[in-house]
Structure 1
Amino acid sequence: MEKVFLVVLISYFIGNISPSYIFGKVFGKIDIRKHGSGNAGATNTLRVLGAKVAGMTFLVDALKGVLAVAIGRGIYGYYGALIAAVFVIIGHDWPVVLKFKGGKGIATSIGSVMVISPITALICILVGLALVIKTKYVSLGSVTGVGILPFVGLLTMRPFDINFLIFSIIVSVLAIFRHRTNIYRLTHGKESKLGQKAK
């Protein structure tokens, strides 16, 4: 239990590191959460501060997942990696240092899953990117890419791994929950497309 608690604690606080907030202060002298969609993530950073800062934000957010999973695996093996992935995403989404107002966890989810199952992650990324390119809706690509994670995992993880399935369902549910307002806007034709200002 000590190892599990240590993995949870370290991963959660790695997730609390918010590059969008930090870069917003450094490059724009703003609190990114008070601009655009109010989300502390790469997409809102793109809309508010541009592609360069958004790219840096996405990279750091993804690397948070990579780092947490690597540490979790070092402490508690495969189970530590799965636990770390879940809690670094939770830390990103609900960071205590930012009064629980964080991002939506897509880049961190990508980084985490890429370490655990690169093929599964790559398929999900390609599906998500294809949707973004076709529709210009980042949220649609994000929710779909992470939402199909359990199904892709069932196809790619051999032998069948119940632990990965449970993990992937949790990650998908987190992503869908964090995008619930985007899903509402998508179904009502009010979602902002890539290149547009957030509504």
Structure 2
Amino acid sequence: MKYIIVAILAYTIGSFSSAYVLGKVLKNKDIRAYGSGNAGATNAVRVFGKKIGAMAFLLDVLKGVLAVYIGNMILGYDGKLIAGLFAVIGHNWPIFFNFKGGKGIATSFGIWLSIHWPSAVITLIVFIIVAITTKYISLSSISSALAAPIAVLIMKRPFDMKFFIVILLLSILAVFRHRSNIKRLLEGKEYRVGDKVKKGDD
């Protein structure tokens, strides 16, 4: 029963769409109708500017941290892992916003940071390096997601199979949510930092 409670609570926390709420409260706009149509921090930067984008990113990270904290309180270590996974599912497919959410990178980072910060730092470094060198935020997100399970595999001692599986699942979810970005990258049509995005592009 506790496992179900943790999953529901974490999913509910994840379903709080930071970018959507900030856009509505501060700009009276539905972010899903602008830019890429994605309710995430990257699109918030494009549509509303760096300040609101940074706020959305921070709140999304905190969602992951909060979910892990509550999961740990209720169920211990297993609760952390379950909460982390379901918080990202909630972020990506939020029940409060017609299941149209973000891509889970910031929330996943909050989870990694809470459970094993050394591997989280590695993923952040990968993100920054790729972002600076390519100017593609989507490629940075994909690269950091792919780096996460590798970092855990190398750095987490003793090896923790449960944690590795959860991180691997989060990585797969992140790449899956970026499938349209991957298509544009392969076609040479992906947006770089500073590019204007047409309404409805995902």
TM-score bracket for the superposition, by shorter chain length: over 0.9
Q: TM-score, normalised by structure 2?
A: 0.96
Judge conservation of contact 2:126–2:147 (CA < 8 Å) in 1: no
Residues 152-192 of structure 1: CA distance to partner in whole angstroms, max 9, x if unpaired?
10111001111111111100000000000001101111100
Matched residue, 1:12:
11
Matched residue, 1:84:
83
Matched, 1:177 2:163: no
Deviation at 1:129, TM superposition (A): 1.0
Matched residue, 1:115:
114
The number of equivalent residue pairs is 198
Matched residue, 1:40:
39
Deviation at 1:19, TM superposition (A): 1.3
Deviation at 1:198, TM superposition (A): 2.1
Q: Percent identity?
A: 50
Deviation at 1:29, TM superposition (A): 1.3
Partner-residue secondary structure (3-state), 2:76? helix
Partner-residue secondary structure (3-state), 1:30? coil
Deviating 4+ runs (over 6 angstroms): none
Matches within 5 A, 1:123-162: 123-162=122-161
Matched, 1:50 2:49: yes
In structure 2, distance between residues paired with 1:34 and 1:19: 15
Judge conservation of contact 1:88–1:108 (CA < 8 Å) in 2: yes
Segments of 5+ residues of structure 2 without an aligned counterpart are: none
- Superposition RMSD on alpha carbons, in Å? 0.7
Residues 66-103 of structure 1: CA distance to partner in whole angstroms, max 9, x if unpaired?
00000001111111101100000000000011010000
Deviation at 1:23, TM superposition (A): 1.0
Matched residue, 1:168:
167
Segments of 5+ residues of structure 1 without an aligned counterpart are: none
Q: Which has the higher contact order (CA 8 A, sep 6+)?
A: 2
Judge conservation of contact 1:44–1:198 (CA < 8 Å) in 2: no
Matched residue, 1:30:
29
Matched, 1:97 2:96: yes
Give the AA of the match of 1:48.
V
Judge conservation of contact 1:20–1:41 (CA < 8 Å) in 2: yes
Give the AA of the match of 1:6.
I
